[in-house]
Amino acid sequence: MSKLLDHKVAIITGAGSGIGEEMAKLFSAEGATIVVVDVVAERVEKTVSAIRAKHGTVYGMVLDMTQKDDIRKLVEDSVKIFDHIDILCNNAGIMDGFYSLEETEEEWWDKVMNINLKAPYLTTKMALPHMMHNGGGIILNTASIAGLHGGRAGLAYTVSKHGLIGFTKHVAAYYGEKGIRCNAMALGAVNTQIGYGSSKPSQVGLKIMEKTALSMGRPAEPHEIARTALFLVSKESSYVNGAVLVTDNGWTVY
């Protein structure tokens, strides 16, 4: 019996925990070969072991997604080992402590931008030629409702996710005719270890967040988001391109 992702090779960044880990396990169960990427070796080993225990094909890479050479190695090694790349999930990201403009130091701004926005830009730019050579591919970006609104996170995170959504739409517009689909998930609260991004989150930012918190409902579980991701990277969403799928339990309808 065929599976949704049979014969597909999927790179998933930030796959050592949370949403990325659940995506990796679910995509593997649906037949994909998985390239697990994370900056923490123990996390990579955990996800790889879980997939191998289910007899999935997987390759783990410990990489820093803020380093261009690491990203180049990711793409080149994936093609060298598996011959092609079908799916790229730009999932790695960090929060920003809910810091306001006044509270956001340049160093912190750069760190958030490098991981949340520059890394997807570089990874997609390097993977895209291989996808087009192979006749097409699918890119899925993990965005946030902070990319659609102004009071759901701090300055750097909010700007990075607005940028990622713009990036998604641009890639879809320019490369759709070449067989590339690029979509994003705009997530609400998810029960992961990402936390606030700082041990001392901004009280100003948290207070603004509280204005809408009562309408949030429960946070999502990572496996619920993984099922949304599976739809967007499979043939089930073959007519979906340039979309931003809000996945927030109705938080932003209020």
- pLDDT tens-digit profile of 182-199? 999 999 999 987 665 555
Tokens in use for 204?
């100003």
> Helices (DSSP H) in the chain: which residue ranges?
18-29, 41-53, 68-82, 106-113, 119-133, 155-175, 203-213, 222-233
- Told to judge if 157 belongs to the known catalytic residues of this protein, a careful annotator would answer yes
Say which amino acid occupies 124: T
Question: Which residues, other chains included, contact 152 with Cβ-Cβ below 8 Å and sequence gap of 6+?
Answer: 144, 145, 146, 158, 209, 212
- Residue range 95-102: average pLDDT? 93
Question: Which residues, other chains included, contact 231 with Cβ-Cβ below 8 Å and sequence gap of 6+?
Answer: 237
3-state secondary structure of 60: strand
Tokens in use for 188?
């609400």
User: What pTM was computed for the model?
Assistant: 0.94
Q: Which of 157, 175, 196, 254 is catalytic?
A: 157
Q: Calculate helix-pair angle for 222-233, 18-29, nearest 10 degrees.
A: 50
Across the beta sheet with 180-187, what order do the strands follow? 58-62, 33-38, 9-13, 87-90, 137-144, 180-187, 244-247
Question: What pLDDT, on the 0 to 100 scale, is given for residue 197?
Answer: 59
pLDDT per residue as tens digits for the range 161-188: 999 999 999 999 999 999 999 999 999 9
pLDDT per residue as tens digits for the range 57-94: 999 999 999 999 999 999 999 999 999 999 999 999 99
Domains contained in the chain, CATH given: 9-253 (3.40.50.720)
